[in-house]
């Protein structure tokens, strides 16, 4: 299987996937840490893929999504975006809607707390 086949297989077979530098328990960059932190805080079950462990996956994910940076968040096979987009969607409530629409369990109260903490 090529790197692109592996990536496609991963995003197809898992509800939520985060391609990141490091792992959800040990992020290796600030941007990856922020997105993993959001998902962890919300209690979202997700698959983390450490792009630092495989150069072909690291390059392949950029081609797969036509997005130049990492982290990259996928929900139900759909590319959502990187760190800034994940933060914006969390603060606007769009991420709640996306997760609810796709039947992905998360802690709504935790999402509300994030918004309260960042209001004004």
Render 77-98 in DSSP notation, one character per residue: TEEEE-HHHHHHHHHHTHHHHH
* pLDDT at residue 119, as a whole number: 86
CA 57 to chain centre: 16
* pLDDT at residue 24, as a whole number: 96
* pLDDT at residue 8, as a whole number: 97
* pLDDT at residue 14, as a whole number: 98
Q: CA dihedral defined by 102, 82, 5, 39, rounded to 10 degrees?
A: -50
Q: What are phi and psi of 25, to 5 degrees?
A: -90, -20
Task: Tokens 């809607």: give the residue.
Answer: 97
Note the pTM of the prediction, 2 decimals.
0.96
> What are the tens digits of pLDDT across the range 19-35?
999 999 999 999 999 99
List of domains in the chain: 3-117 (3.40.30.10)
* pLDDT at residue 82, as a whole number: 97
Those residues of the chain that have pLDDT short of 50 are none
């Amino acid at each position: 299987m090529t790197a692109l086949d592996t990536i496609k297989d991963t995003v197809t077979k898992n509800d939520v996937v985060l391609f990141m530098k490091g792992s959800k328990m040990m992020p290796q960059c600030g941007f990856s840490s922020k997105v993993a932190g959001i998902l962890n805080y919300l209690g979202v079950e997700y698959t983390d893929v450490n792009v630092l462990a495989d150069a072909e996956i690291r390059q392949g994910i950029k081609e797969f999504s036509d997005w130049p940076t990492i982290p990259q968040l996928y929900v139900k096979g759909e590319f959502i975006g990187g760190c800034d987009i994940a933060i914006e969607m969390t603060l606007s409530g769009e991420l709640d809607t996306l997760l609810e629409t796709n039947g992905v369990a998360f802690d709504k109260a935790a999402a509300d707390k994030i918004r309260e903490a960042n209001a004004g």
